[in-house]
Amino acid sequence: MAKRLFTTVHEGWLKLLFASFAVEDRSFGERLYDFSEIVYRHLRFIESVYVKKKIEYSYERPAIELSFTTEGEAALFCEEALGRIASQLSPSGDPLAARLIGDLEYIRRDLAARSSIEAKVTAFDKSLKLPGKSLDKSSLDALVMFLFEESYKEYELIIVYSYAQTTVDDKRLTEIFQILIDESKYHLKSFARMMDQLGILAVPRMVTQEIYRFDSLKEFLLNGIEEEMGAKEQCRALAEGVKDEELSAFFDFINRQEDYHIALMKEALQRID
Amino acid sequence: MQESELYDTTMDHMMNPRNYGKIEDADAVGIGKNPQNGEMVIIYLVLKEGRVEDIRFQAKACMTTIIAGSIFTETIKGATIEEARELTDLMLEKLEGMPPEEAACSELVAEAFFAALEHFEARAEDPTAPVPTRMITGTCAIEKEEEE
C-alpha cells in the first residue's frame, strides 16, 4: 500500500508537470505547474514520514505516455491521475492526510472545470520547428538529441538529490541538495518547454534504484561532480554547434550555472570529509 | 523505409521507449557492460515454452542505447528463443561493418540479451546461478565526442 501510494503520487506529479509544459495557454500552463509543485511537495511529505517510520518505498514507476490532444483532455488526464491518489487516502485525523485530501479536492475541481477546453495540444506532433528559428539539419539533430539526453538527466538529478536529502542530517548539506533540486527543476522546465515547441515532449524514463540509491555519499558526490562536468561539456558543445545566437546564449547560460553546482558539490564533499 | 519515416519511428522510440523497466520475477537476467565508460544495459526475460513471453530492459547509457533497446525488445518479444538468438546474431553481423563507436550502443543490448540467455541455461542447472555480465569493446559515439 505504502509503495503504491508513493508511486501514484510520483506519477501524479509528473503528469501535472508535463501537462503544464504541453498546454499552449501559458496562464493555464503556469497554474498546472504550481499544482505539480504542490504534488511534488506531497511526495516529499510522504517520503519523510516513510523514512521516519522506516517504511519501504521506491522512486521506480511505470512508463508514462502523454496521449491527450486538447487542453481539456490534458486537464482530465491530470484530474484522473489525482483521483487515483485520492482513492488511496481516507480521513483519519492525521494532519498530513487531511492536507493531501484538501489539496486534491481543490485541484481536481479546478481541473474538471477545464475539461471542455478545445484548444489543440501540439506538443507531440513531431513538427521539429522552433518558432522564429530556422535551424540547419545538423543543428536540429544535435538539439533534439541534447534535449532528450538532458531532460532525462535533469529528472534523474531531481530524484537522486531528493533521495540524497533523506540520507543526511547536516543542515548545510540538506540546503545544498535543495538548491540543486530547484536548479534541476528550472533546467528541466526550460528543456521541456523547448521540446514542447518542437513537438517532441515526453516524460523521461524512470530512474532505477541502482542509480538513485548509493552506498557511499562521498562516491555519490564525486560521481555527481563528474556528471556535472559532462553536462557542462554537452552544453558547451551545443552552444558552439547550434548556429543560432539566441540558442547559443541560452546554452552558455545553462553551462555557467553548472559551475556553481560543481562548487556546491565540492563544498558538500568537504563537509563530509 | 523512407528517411522521413525512419526519423519519425526513431523519434517515437525516443519519446516512448518500449519495454523499459524491470521484471521482478524474471526467469533470467543479463548485463551488457562497456568497461570503458561504465555504460550498461540489463535485460530481464520471461521465457515460456521456448518463447520470449516478456522482455524488459534498463539502461545506464545514452539515448542511442535506449532507442536500440526499445527497438530490439519490441522485435524479440514473442519470438522463439532460437529465432531471437538468430536475430541477435544477425544484428551483430550487421554491426561488424560499422565503426566501433557507432556499433557500441546496439552491441551493449545484444550482449545483455546473450548474457540473459546464459543465465537461463545456468539456472536450469543451479537456480542460484549469478547474473552474468558480458563486456563490449567499442566506445559509444557520444562518449567519444566528449573525449575529443
> Alpha-carbon distance A104 to A100, whole Å?
6
Answer yes or no: do A92 and A22 share one domain.
Answer: yes
User: What H or E segment, with its residue span, contains residue A182?
Assistant: helix A171-198
Residue with cell 546461478: B129
- Please report the pLDDT score of residue B140 as a whole number: 61
- State which of A121, A145, A163 marks the end of a domain: A121
Answer yes or no: do A142 and A27 share one domain.
Answer: no
Answer yes or no: do A264 and A132 share one domain.
Answer: yes
Query: In the sheet that B28-33 helps form, which strands lie side by side, from edge to edge?
Result: B51-60, B40-48, B28-33, B133-135
- Please report the pLDDT score of residue A241 as a whole number: 82
Q: Flag if A200 and B15 touch (Cβ within 8 Å).
A: yes
Average pLDDT over residues B41-61: 96
Q: Give the residue numbers in A contacting B (CB under 8 Å), as ranges.
A: 60, 62-63, 65, 124, 126, 144-145, 148-149, 152, 200-202, 205-206, 208, 210-211, 230, 233-234, 237
Q: Name residues of chain A where pLDDT drops below 50.
A: none
Give the residue from A14, A206, A208 with the most B CB atoms within 10 Å of its CB, the best one to mutate: A208
Answer yes or no: do A179 and A93 share one domain.
Answer: no
Q: Does B4 touch chain A (CB under 8 A)?
A: no
Answer yes or no: do A117 and A189 share one domain.
Answer: no
Q: Flag if A206 and B21 touch (Cβ within 8 Å).
A: yes
Q: Flag if B63 and A145 touch (Cβ within 8 Å).
A: yes
Share of chain B above pLDDT 90, in %: 70
Split at pLDDT 50, 70, 90, the class of B38 is: confident
Whether the ipTM is more than 0.90: the answer is no
Indicate the pTM of the whole model.
Answer: 0.92
Domain count within chain A: 2
Q: Does B6 touch chain A (CB under 8 A)?
A: no
CB B70 within 8 A of CB B76: no
Q: What SS3 string covers chain B?
A: CCHHHHHHHHHHHHHCCCCECCCCCCCEEEEEECCCCCCEEEEEEEEECCEEEEEEEEEECCHHHHHHHHHHHHHHCCCEHHHHHHHHHHHHHHHHCCCHHHHHHHHHHHHHHHHHHHHHHHHHHCCCCCCCEEECCCCCHHHHHHHC
Check pLDDT > 80 for residue B142.
no
Q: Flag if A205 and B8 touch (Cβ within 8 Å).
A: no
- Please report the pLDDT score of residue B141 as a whole number: 57
- Please report the pLDDT score of residue B148 as a whole number: 47
> Alpha-carbon distance B55 to A170, whole Å?
42
CATH code: domain of residue A164: 1.20.1260.10
- Please report the pLDDT score of residue B145 as a whole number: 52
Q: Flag if A202 and B60 touch (Cβ within 8 Å).
A: no
Partners of residue A148 in chain B, C-beta under 8 Å: 14, 63
Answer yes or no: do A139 and A256 share one domain.
Answer: yes
- Please report the pLDDT score of residue B143 as a whole number: 54
Question: What domains can you pick out in chain B, each with its CATH number?
Answer: 3-138 (3.90.1010.10)
Give the residue from B15, B67, B146 with the most A CB atoms within 10 Å of its CB, the best one to mutate: B15
- Please report the pLDDT score of residue B110 as a whole number: 96
Q: Flag if A126 and B16 touch (Cβ within 8 Å).
A: no
Partners of residue B62 in chain A, C-beta under 8 Å: 149
Residues ≥6 apart with Cβ < 8 Å to A125: A199
Answer yes or no: do A114 and A167 share one domain.
Answer: no
Residues ≥6 apart with Cβ < 8 Å to A273: A218
Q: What is the DSSP letter of A205?
A: P
- State which of A98, A121, A144 marks the end of a domain: A121
Q: Of A82-96, A158-172, B52-66, B97-111, which gets the smallest average pLDDT?
A: B97-111
Q: Tell me: the pLDDT tens digits for A118-171?
A: 999 999 999 999 988 888 888 899 899 999 999 999 999 999 999 999 999 999
Q: Flag if A206 and B62 touch (Cβ within 8 Å).
A: no
Give the residue from B8, B9, B14 with the most A CB atoms within 10 Å of its CB, the best one to mutate: B14
- Please report the pLDDT score of residue A134 as a whole number: 86
Answer yes or no: do A98 and A159 share one domain.
Answer: no
> Alpha-carbon distance A106 to B73, whole Å?
42
| Structural domain harbouring A30 | 1-121
Q: Which residue of B has its CA nearest to A146?
A: B63
Average pLDDT over residues B85-104: 87
Residue with cell 532528450: A148
- State which of A67, A98, A121 marks the end of a domain: A121
Average pLDDT over residues B114-130: 96
- Please report the pLDDT score of residue B100 as a whole number: 75
Q: In Å, how far is B63's CA from the nearest CA of chain A?
A: 6
